[in-house]
Amino acid sequence: MEKQKQDERRESGLPGGGAGRKDEVGRSGVYPASGPYPEGNAEIRGQASWGQGERGAAGYEDHGSSQLSYTGGQILGGYSEEAEQTLHVEIPVEDARLSGELSAPRELRGIVVFAHGSGSSRQSPRNQYVARVLRQAGMATLLFDLLTEEEDVVDRKTAEWRFNIALLAKRLRQATDWVKASPEIRDIDMGYFGASTGAAAALVATAEAGDIRAVVSRGGRPDLAGTALPKVQAATLLIVGGADPQVLELNRRAALQLTGEKRLEVVHGATHLFEEAGALEDVARLARQWFEQHLGQREAEAEAA
């Protein structure tokens, strides 16, 4: 409970959520509207892999690819009577290893990778809620920490890492490649769900590769994606609170630069964190509809051809 409260405070931009913030936009704790980003590399911690084999058994490691088992529309391994399985994973990236949770329903139509917002983590209660709704629609979800524990400690005090969009996008791409390393699921459609600065990272990562079918941004900062915006070809949904006027204006401007399929949805009366009654439910509903529309269509397209 204390961890959840801490994540909510950090995500909201309230005092205690990280010193050194500048030029706040609404309650998002955003600085600055555009670059420069902090320089420097994360500590090199070597390679790691994730618990698997016995599907989440504590301490189990497999040094290699993710080895998800997928066949006949299902991810296999350890379901028993449960409707879904959750694997606690460690994702090896170039200069770190990142903790995450990979959850998959029995019947799988797509995978959505989450990029959390500024000052938040994979434990974001809002992203966790949206992920549960997506899994009910047949989407596997990966929620992982974009920062290591050491980086997170520094970021709480200085906000040094959360606006390093280039670093966050790079790690998001590496996590995506890690998921796709399993040959059994490489043909499953993938999407990104980004919040706050995580939305910018999702758009940059999408622009750098053509394998993401859809992106959803919740209260995001797509403007921080900069010159990557016109290169995004994935269908992009921007969801903003109607009572978050500055972020809404930034999203409107960013939407004009997107050249692919796009939509801006305003949740009326909602502030930046969508804390108002029914607001987060609206976000989850819109995200679910968007991913249902754009993921899981390859089989149908092949049959039509």
Kindly report which listed range (22-26, 97-101, 229-233, 237-241) carries the lowest average pLDDT score: 22-26
Say whether pLDDT at 80 is over 50.
no
Identify whether the C-beta of residue 216 lies closer than 8 Å to the C-beta of residue 237: yes
CB within 8 Å of 302: residues ≥ 6 apart: none
> How confident is the model at residue 60, as a pLDDT?
28
Neighbours of 177 (CB within 10 A): 14
> How confident is the model at residue 119, as a pLDDT?
59
Between strands 212-218 and 235-241, the pairing is: parallel
Q: Does domain 2-32+85-304 correspond to CATH entry 3.40.50.1820?
A: yes
Identify which has the larger pLDDT, 129 or 41: 129
In the block, residue with structure tokens 């992009």: 236
At 76, the pLDDT band (50, 70, 90 cuts) reads very low
Global pTM reads: 0.72
Structure token pair of residue 75? 């991810």
DSSP code, position 148: -
Q: Could you give the CA distance from residue 79 to residue 155 in angstroms, rounded to a whole number?
A: 37
pLDDT in tens, 207-253: 998 899 999 999 999 999 999 999 999 999 999 999 999 999 999 99
pLDDT in tens, 249-276: 999 999 999 999 999 999 999 999 999 9
> How confident is the model at residue 180, as a pLDDT?
87
Of 277, 274, 144, 290, give the one whose Cα is nearest residue 219: 274
Of 131, 138, 118, give the one whose Cα is nearest residue 192: 131
Identify whether the C-beta of residue 108 lies closer than 8 Å to the C-beta of residue 73: yes
How big is the chain by its Cα radius of gyration, in Å?
A: 18
Residue ranges per structural domain of the chain: 2-32+85-304
